[in-house]
Structure 1
Amino acid sequence: MSKLVEYRQLEKHLAEQLQALEAMKGDDGLKKEIEFETKLRKLLDQYGFSLKHIINILEPQNTALRPPVAPTASTRKPRELKVYKNPNTGEVIETKGGNHKILKEWKVEHGADVVEGWLKK
């Protein structure tokens, strides 16, 4: 994109935003909000308070007044322990997942279906 095209686009975007800003300046709701904020900040300065003080007054963080929130329990059930016994070597593997190094080697060597047959009930 050429610099001139980029300049024209930015110029157009700026003109649109200036137009939107001018439209907002005439909005009565915005004027009321600005007036409220100005008066509130003057009042806070007069009494030496900050916005944090006001928030703490309106919504105290005192846990004694609020009921305790129960911790959310995990929705996923824990994995079951699986025990595999290799009938050829007598070696036993206990695992909760399929990402066990020796179990993977067995599945490559003997086949996944055969190794799943070695699962102890």
Structure 2
Amino acid sequence: MTDKLLEYERLEQEKKQIEARCEHEKKQVDAKLERLKKDEEFQHDMEFKQQIEAVLETYEKKREDLLKLFGPATHDPSNKPVRRKASQKQPLKRYTHPVTGKVVKARSLRNATLQEWKREYDEDTVKSWGEVIEDDISSS
């Protein structure tokens, strides 16, 4: 047989395998969809969504109109994070390494030991080891 004929047969076989794999994956997705459709929470959420869409249609409104109406408040002073004045120091924290038990006291993560820990673990993990032991804001 020629090389092109062999290649054609190989590609036909590969196509059948892909179709079989796709059919299997499609059946898995269909089964997940059916389980979702039977879920009470999903049914409740779907009913709610359909009712909202019906109201939007009744009043000739779009989702964007709904988001404008119920979106986040444009000006809410209570959402602002508490900021320190430049003259205020960061609180002193005690960082305890959970494996070695080593304790480091520092006002920021710029401490050399904490920098090593950040490289070994990640910043959020090292931050989670910190405990405020002296807070200049509350003591002033």
TM-score range, shorter chain: 0.3 to 0.5
TM-score, normalising length from structure 1? 0.45
**TM-score normalized with structure 2 length:** 0.40
Structure number with the bigger relative contact order (C-alpha 8 A, sep ≥ 6) is 2
Q: Which has the larger radius of gyration?
A: 1
